[in-house]
Structure 1
Amino acid sequence: MIISLSPRATLLETIPFPAVTVCNMNGAKKSVAEDIDQNQSNDSDSLFEKHMLRKLCRDNELMSGSKVNASWSKMQNFMVKVSQPCHTMLVACLWRSEEMPCHAMFNPEITDEGMCCSFNKVKRNFIYRNPRQLHGLNYTFPYPSIDWTPESGYPPDAPANANPWRVFGPGKGLGLTIVLDAELFDYYCSSTASVGFKVLLHSPVETPRVSEFAYFITPGDEARVEITPKISTTTPDLVNIPESKRRCVFTSERNLRFYRTYTQRNCELECQSNFTLQECKCVPFYLPKDSSTRICGTADDECVENVKDITEKRLPEDYKNRTGWEKPRNINCSCLPSCVQIFYTKQMSTGKLEDMFNVQKSFLGGKNLSYYKQNMAVVHFFFVENYFTSFEKGEIFGFTDFLSSTGGLLGLFLGFSFMSAAEIAYFVTIKVLFSKLRKNQRKENITQTRIFKSLPFAE
């Protein structure tokens, strides 16, 4: 069997605009973090907040002495308390050149980077199997939503403004523009050695992994993010081909525990969650889990990091060398790519914001030009082509094709045909059989002749 990738021109309006997740690198607001630091109380809530503050700021020295466990409600309340809310991070939002309220477009999202803001993700009940049993924040969707997946796509009667949103042409004027405020005056710590934002483009049905894959946007810059979609599809005839040969998975073939739609990244996150629960008896706050699962605290940090090394860095041999660890029963999650998948690549260019030019009033958010230059960033997201190239995986050389192709080639170069095959079969089987029968018949005739000659002569 030979599998081919056939390029096809695909119209832009058949796919959604990517989900966009934005996170401030500030781990906690200074105005709130200082109050937590100065709190002298030793009650469980105060100790928990101090522990989580150190964890967000990656302050290992100050974390080393405490062993704190967390409930989801505590974790959620703390994240909301210390993080920059979406309504202050997002100053202005334009969708297809129309200014819209940012709170109607972005929803809060707890990620591995902390509290972030996400645009164009599908509803929770379209992402998860049992959303009411899972931890999460409340989402708002003032516009109609549809159950979109990479395999099913948009139904023919889907409204033009249905979530996940799509665009009907390329260019900045038909994309997304956002104005971000870093609030540098309220920085307490950073997840990196710089200030600004982490931004990630991802599928609307996936949970973002910001810490590993996001790119940076710096305050004082205007950025243009040119997006190119990459889509691979699969012909229906590959359903009967084993996974090991086609090297991809259809959604109907593998039911994930938490996610409704199979994607490679959803599978990897679920694998990490299940494996952490198996080994550590808890799950980190940013991974999928049900409402009864304990959230990992400081006592579990070493175990969680070990699991992360194995599942993300693919280091099973390192597993054996860790003190107190035995080789796990199941490390390999077999997270093959989806047979119908979509991801987005980007090309980014930036320039400095200047106050010598006219600035749109809504972009300032009531601040002056000096603050605008130091704290804010303007980002434009858009597609660059009206058509894009998708690749279809299909079987072009199966067993039937092999037989017909072999016969054709032999006929071309050797004069081979079905009659030739019949002649070969004749000479190999029938002729040999008849030759053997004749040989046996001769032996019988010779025997009868000898018997006749041995009889006595009588008159």
Structure 2
Amino acid sequence: MADQLKGKRSTIWPGPELLPLPNTNYNRASITSAALSDVASDVIIKSRIRYGSRLSACKGILLEYSKSTTIHGIRYIFEVHRPIYEKLYWLVLTCTSVYFAVSLIWDTYLKWQDSPVILGFDETLVPVHRIPFPTITICPEIKMERNVFDYRNISRQILADFKQNQQFLNVDSIEEEDLARMAATMHICDADVVQRFAPLFSQLPQNVDIARTLLDLTITKNLTAPFCKWNGRFYFCDKIFDFVPTDEGICYQFNGLRPKDIYRDERFVSYVDPDIVDFNNFFDDLEPLNNITGNWSLDSGYLGQGKNAYPQRTVFSSARNAFFAFLQALEHNYDFDCRSFKQGYKVFLNSPESVPLTTGNYILVPNGDEVVVSVLPNYVVSTDNLHEISPEKRQCFFDDERALRFFRSYSQNNCQTECLANFTVAKCGCAKFWMPKPLDVPVCGLDDIACYTAAQEELNVLLQNQTMQQTVDPNAKVMCDCMPACTSLEYNFEISRARYDLAKTLRAFREVYEHDDSIGSRLSVYFKEHQFTAIKRTIMFGVSTLISNCGGIFGLFMGISSLSFIELVYFFSMRICSSWRQRRKAKKQILIQEE
């Protein structure tokens, strides 16, 4: 009896869906036998799941999935009654489709990883009145008014005494004020001059207000630039110029933002020009300009500003609306002892929110030349959806992503200036007179000249080595990481130059000039065109684009959609659980029938 029961338990009992076939012995036939070749595939699959072994049930679920899935080719591979050669045929085609799909998707993923951002031209032209006129910084090579401080005679007197006595013995023969001026000028003289005077630094005054002293020595604005013209109006240049400290010394600046609008605290810099530029001051008979209202930022542009704006802008690109300055140098002020033999003016163009980098490109205006500069803006804007891409991938910073210590807004120039200032403070415990610095950090004195010079050279070498290392190892870090701003404004320029003879010009106009040793130069700066093409930085491959491309590739080669993945999860999770409950229920019914 026990043997009979054991034999019955091993018998596969048909379920209600399996119809009885004629002349079939269910006690001796298995679910995979040839006797079931004419049975419908749905009946065989359900019987495998409910009554077969665990392996047979898994095969049944796989067959059920292949019969229901929307993925192309799968049903032909696993179909119950399909011949083997047809299955092999579809297996080869399906594997080929999977290979091409995976290859294309991998290429798309790599493209999304490596170059998710694209730079292209904006669809519309930008008129020049949408952006500010460039900030123009003019740095004359003549740094001192000889009638105030005769650097040549005093420096030669000190060197002669030093060569004769191997030290400076006649300190009392020079006024203390001139010694203080001598100490201040050491910060702007050429490196070989500083090295020559280095043994005498201990005998020069140490506590000198360098920026203030250099400003007192600087030739006045109206003497260097007697008159200017801007936007068709004549101005006295001292009414529209600011004094600004730079690495070149004290320079004259037109159309720059006030220090309180550039720095988080204007006390971060050692000198701020107290004269506020008022563009309503002019000496022609035109009606006054409107008061300046609203504000400007690089991200939002001009908001609520009329024809008189801060910073200044222009509507036209003609030379009539250009910035023009007549510059003059007096021969008695020529200096070949402190500075190089190059005489004239260095001119820097930059966006108003940035400080000029005097180590960058500049325009040289020699004495006795007329230089005409036509400007073509290089304006880069970025779409807001770039925020979803990391700065390392898009290679730029938004203003709200990178906060600088000293500056209100981020720009590459400001970042590089702050990097140099921080590195100098860390190395020397002080900052050079023109650098922004914390309020409790002193300005470098004579004894610190060698330190801050070496610090600047060391920083340049470090940045160069780290940048080259990053080309080999993308994970290598670069100090300060001064990437470009996502929204940036720079000014490319073309230069035309000709000789300008002031004496012949005065004779032609039958004028008599008050300075008989004046050598004149003229500078004109204007926009090259009324409109220009901006550059737009936008997403080429975002997450949504990546998903769309991958979905298109899957759909093309395999017919897969998002529901295909849901279907896959359903069959091998919820469907397995449901089949497991059905198997338990079927086993209970078999046991009851056997009993």
Question: Same fold by TM-score, threshold 0.5 exceeded?
Answer: yes
Aligned-residue CA RMSD (Å): 3.5
Secondary structure of 1:65 counterpart: helix
Specify the alignment match of 1:56 in structure 2: 188
Question: Which aligned pairs between 1:183-198 and structure 2 lie closer than 5 A?
Answer: 183-189=330-336, 191-198=339-346
In the alignment, residue 277 of structure 1 is paired with which amino acid? Answer: V
Q: How far did residue 302 of structure 1 move?
A: 2.5
Is residue 20–residue 200 contact of structure 1 (8 Å, CA) maintained in 2? yes
Q: Does 1:24 align with 2:140?
A: yes
In the alignment, residue 306 of structure 2 is paired with which amino acid? Answer: P
Q: How far did residue 219 of structure 1 move?
A: 1.4
Q: How far did residue 282 of structure 1 move?
A: 0.8
* Alignment partners' CA distance in 2, 1:304 and 1:405: 54
* Alignment partners' CA distance in 2, 1:103 and 1:261: 28
Specify the alignment match of 2:523 in structure 1: 379
Cα distance change on mapping 1:364 and 1:218 into 2, 3 Å? farther
Is residue 92–residue 362 contact of structure 1 (8 Å, CA) maintained in 2? no
Specify the alignment match of 2:543 in structure 1: 399
Is residue 88–residue 181 contact of structure 1 (8 Å, CA) maintained in 2? yes
Secondary structure of 2:529 counterpart: coil
Specify the alignment match of 2:413 in structure 1: 265
- Which ranges of structure 2 fall in alignment gaps of 5 or more residues? 1-111, 159-169, 280-290, 467-476
Is residue 70–residue 294 contact of structure 1 (8 Å, CA) maintained in 2? no
Farther-moved stretch of structure 1 (414-423 vs 17-26): 414-423
Q: Does 1:235 align with 2:383?
A: yes
1:161 to 298, 303, 308: 308
Q: How far did residue 260 of structure 1 move?
A: 1.3
Select the structure of larger CA radius of gyration.
2
Q: How far did residue 47 of structure 1 move?
A: 3.4
Cα distance change on mapping 1:345 and 1:196 into 2, 3 Å? same
In the alignment, residue 489 of structure 2 is paired with which amino acid? Answer: I
In the alignment, residue 243 of structure 1 is paired with which amino acid? Answer: P
Deviations 1:142-201 (A, max 9, x none): 14556422123210x212222210010112111101111122331123643311111100
Deviations 1:263-308 (A, max 9, x none): 1111211121122112211111111124543211222122212221
Is residue 316–residue 331 contact of structure 1 (8 Å, CA) maintained in 2? no
* Alignment partners' CA distance in 2, 1:135 and 1:361: 46
Deviations 1:192-250 (A, max 9, x none): 33111111001112222224432211112111101011111222222343322232222
Secondary structure of 2:435 counterpart: coil
- Which ranges of structure 1 fall in alignment gaps of 5 or more residues? 319-329
Is residue 91–residue 363 contact of structure 1 (8 Å, CA) maintained in 2? no
Specify the alignment match of 2:76 in structure 1: none
Is residue 187–residue 449 contact of structure 2 (8 Å, CA) maintained in 1? no
Specify the alignment match of 1:12 in structure 2: 128
Q: How far did residue 17 of structure 1 move?
A: 0.3
Cα distance change on mapping 1:126 and 1:194 into 2, 3 Å? same
Is residue 183–residue 206 contact of structure 2 (8 Å, CA) maintained in 1? no
Deviations 1:8-37 (A, max 9, x none): 221211100000011111243344224644
* Alignment partners' CA distance in 2, 1:363 and 1:106: 29
Q: Does 1:66 align with 2:210?
A: no
Question: Which aligned pairs between 1:44-443 and structure 2 lie closer than 5 A?
Answer: 45-58=177-190, 59=193, 60-67=195-202, 70-71=206-207, 74-132=209-267, 134-138=269-273, 139-143=275-279, 147-155=295-303, 157-189=304-336, 191-314=339-462, 332-354=479-501, 366=513, 375-418=519-562, 420-421=564-565
* Alignment partners' CA distance in 2, 1:353 and 1:287: 36
Farther-moved stretch of structure 1 (427-436 vs 181-190): 427-436
Q: Indicate the structure with greater helix content.
A: 2
Is residue 295–residue 305 contact of structure 2 (8 Å, CA) maintained in 1? no
In the alignment, residue 400 of structure 2 is paired with which amino acid? Answer: S
Q: How far did residue 254 of structure 1 move?
A: 2.9
Secondary structure of 2:380 counterpart: strand
In the alignment, residue 185 of structure 2 is paired with which amino acid? Answer: L
Q: How far did residue 392 of structure 1 move?
A: 2.1
Is residue 71–residue 295 contact of structure 1 (8 Å, CA) maintained in 2? no
Farther-moved stretch of structure 1 (213-222 vs 280-289): 213-222
Cα distance change on mapping 1:355 and 1:195 into 2, 3 Å? closer
In the alignment, residue 352 of structure 2 is paired with which amino acid? Answer: P
Cα distance change on mapping 1:392 and 1:188 into 2, 3 Å? same
In the comparison of the two structures, how many residue pairs are matched?
435
Q: TM-score, normalised by structure 1?
A: 0.82
Cα distance change on mapping 1:228 and 1:314 into 2, 3 Å? farther
Q: How far did residue 70 of structure 1 move?
A: 4.7
Q: TM-score, normalised by structure 2?
A: 0.65
In the alignment, residue 484 of structure 2 is paired with which amino acid? Answer: P
* Alignment partners' CA distance in 2, 1:222 and 1:414: 70
Is residue 311–residue 331 contact of structure 1 (8 Å, CA) maintained in 2? no
Specify the alignment match of 1:322 in structure 2: none
In the alignment, residue 150 of structure 1 is paired with which amino acid? Answer: L
* Alignment partners' CA distance in 2, 1:89 and 1:272: 31
